[in-house]
Amino acid sequence: MEIRWYIGLAVALFSIGVMGVLTRRNAIIVFMCIELMLNAVNLLLVAFSKMHALSPVGLTNPSVVSNAQIFVFFIMVVAAAEVAVGLAIIVMMYRNTHVVDINFLNRLKN
């Protein structure tokens, strides 16, 4: 498959994620949208590494390929850690306020 399909998919996923973060107020959905953006980036990284694996650049310099894939794992680990912390915060928030609306906690304003 040509690379542009992957790019198109990744851009679509990323845009959905951005729009979700901007428009939704439910903390869990915002969270899922952030994950979506991260995964869009992951997808791009994997696609490009695959593409470069067969190109002259990748053949002479294999670390270009492996670096990108290592990066994907790295992002997945960070995302997992983030989910662990983030969900814990959301759970605490729900326990205290019984809502998961992100605009509800705006005491920093004023």
For another protein, the binding residues (CB under 8 A) are: 18, 21-23, 25, 102-103, 106-110
Residues 6+ apart with CB under 8 A from 31: 83, 86, 87, 90
Minimum CB separation of residue 68 from another protein in Å reads 21
Strand-pair partners of 101: 26
Nearer to another protein, 25 or 55 (CB): 25
**Rounded-to-integer distance, Cα 93 and Cα 87, Å:** 10
Nearer to another protein, 60 or 106 (CB): 106
Minimum CB separation of residue 63 from another protein in Å reads 26
* 98 conformational bin, left if phi > 0, alpha if psi -120 to 50, beta if neither: left
Minimum CB separation of residue 42 from another protein in Å reads 19
